[in-house]
Amino acid sequence: MSDTDLRRAAQFLSNARHVVVVSGAGISAESKIPTFRDAMTGLWASFDPQKLATPEAFDADPSTVTRWYDFRRMKCAEALPNPGHTALARLETLLNPHNGSVTILTQNVDGLHQRAGSRNVVELHGSIMTWRCTRTGREFHDLPAPFPDYPPKSPDGGLLRPAVVWFGEMLPPAALDAADKALRECDLFFSIGTSALVHPVAGFAGIASARNIPVIEINRDPTPLTPRADICLRGPSGELLPALLHAAFP
Ligand code: OAD
């Protein structure tokens, strides 16, 4: 990444009023939450997340699936927002007084954007802190950590499952509506810490580009979005986002 790229990105950001950010697991990596496609470590090294995050896996082995999600829920609860999350929350405080906005369309389920202070966060893949009864669909927050046994029993008589989107499940319609509105109104689009592989979210940058909205990727590694982005800042978002805000709003 060159200084020129950072300066160009800062120029776009200083002129923007309605920013959309798509974030993925990479923005939480510096908060010590494993990304989705990095190898699972320790206890879960032998499990393939792509196989555990499915309704079929839950039906076949609810104990293993809920134990894995509870392990991740605990890691998320222990984690702290990093300077990347904090920079996005600060951007919102800089734009709001000028009738600007920052809409974070996150694929993450860890709640760290909200804990960093961002107020306009759309959880496209749900939240690992919320669990849902398989019998009534009622959602529960503030649950015991860790669960006393697996699978956790629901007060409504069913089992409790994480209120996250599993492979093959639909994204929450309200979240998709909010994303659609933000994408139609934005004048700058960021893709941060995501491999840009999973649709429909991987298609959001194309919606912005089709409106001739500048697309900026901030990611540790190249992705399928890289060749189509207007600017690519390669590296850790926990360092690049603070540097970008400092350059845009000295
Ligand atoms: P991935 O694990 O697929 O991608 C994480 C991306 O973050 C990679 O491209 C890394 O290069 C990048 N990265 C890692 N550390 C970084 C850092 N410190 N700074 C910047 N970038 C960094 O995770 P996601 O793209 O979020 O969906 O995965 C998308 C979806 O795939 C997940 O939400 C999940 C999974 O299927 C569901 O569970 C429905």
pLDDT digits (tens, 9 = 90+) for 216-247: 999 999 999 999 999 999 999 999 999 999 99
Most informative mutation of 88, 104, 107 for ligand 1 (most atoms within 8 A of CB): 107
Ligand 1 pocket check for 165: Cβ under 6 Å: yes
Sign of the C-alpha dihedral computed for residues 122, 114, 162 and 26 taken in this order: positive
Mean pLDDT of the chain: 94
Residue 153: DSSP 8-state: B
- Active-site hit among 18, 85, 113, 125: 125
Ligand 1 pocket check for 31: Cβ under 6 Å: no
Residue 52 C-alpha to ligand 1 middle, in angstroms? 17
Q: What's the whole-model pTM score?
A: 0.95
Q: Is position 125 annotated as part of the catalytic site?
A: yes
pLDDT at residue 244 in the model: 98
Protein residue with least CA distance to atom 33, ligand 1:
107
Ligand 1 pocket check for 28: Cβ under 6 Å: no
Q: Which residues contact 140 (CB under 8 A, 6 or more apart)?
A: 130, 131, 132, 133, 154, 155, 160
The mean-pLDDT minimum among 41-45, 82-86, 121-125, 167-171 falls in: 41-45
For residues 166 and 66, what is the distance between their CA atoms, to the nearest angstrom? Answer: 13
For residues 171 and 139, what is the distance between their CA atoms, to the nearest angstrom? Answer: 16
Q: Is 232 helix (H, G, I), strand (E, B) or coil?
A: strand
Protein residue with least CA distance to atom 8, ligand 1:
195
Q: Is 56 helix (H, G, I), strand (E, B) or coil?
A: helix
The mean-pLDDT minimum among 5-19, 28-42, 53-67, 217-231 falls in: 28-42
pLDDT at residue 185 in the model: 97
Q: Which ligand 1 atom lies nearest to the CA of residue 50?
A: 36
Ligand 1 pocket check for 83: Cβ under 6 Å: no
Ligand 1 pocket check for 25: Cβ under 6 Å: yes
